[in-house]
Amino acid sequence: MAKLDFLIRLIKERNIESVEPSNEVSRAYLEKSRRYIGTSNLLFNNERFEESISMSYYSMYYSLLSLLFKVGIKSENHTASIILLKDVFNINNSKISFAKSQRVDKQYYIDFKITKEDSKELIEISQAFNAELESTIMKIKEEDIKRYKKIFEEWLIKRG
């Protein structure tokens, strides 16, 4: 029930809503995603593992925003965006959920030891996730946009 209440609040506050699909915004987020994974690698190579983990997650998040804007969905909440990945696109969201929990744990708490292996693993997960989403984005046609918008509109009605 808490999840549903959370989503209803976001919908009412218009933090999740239908917008015009935008190839331009989608491309901009994909480019941002690429820059962030590049930065993650730079940080990793300079043994800045905590920051590398953050950049890896944000790279994934920007790929997700690219997908959402490609079909005309605006989501201003990380958790809601991750839920939409599963509910609207039927794409497994476990990789980005894991990355988000890693970012939160490593960025906000001090009782974690951050290892080179943790950072490397998340970079690899991010690269695979980003490749999957970019492939999906590139294959989306006009009829797919209409289908996803319909699924999203029904999703909104069920929760709103």
**DSSP label at residue 15:** S
* Per CATH, domain 20-159 is 2.60.40.1730: no
Single pTM value for the model:
0.93
Dihedral over Cα of 26, 94, 76, 80: its sign: positive
By three-state DSSP, how is residue 74 classified?
strand
Rg for the chain, CA atoms, rounded: 16
Q: For position 96, what pLDDT does the model report?
A: 97
Q: Where are the domains of the chain?
A: 20-159
What tokens does 93 get?
Answer: 């969201």
Q: Distance between CA 28 and CA 24 in Å, rounded?
A: 6
Q: For position 108, what pLDDT does the model report?
A: 67
Q: For position 81, what pLDDT does the model report?
A: 97
Q: For position 104, what pLDDT does the model report?
A: 73
Low-confidence ranges of the chain (pLDDT < 70): 1, 105-106, 108-110, 160
Q: Distance between CA 80 and CA 88 in Å, rounded?
A: 11
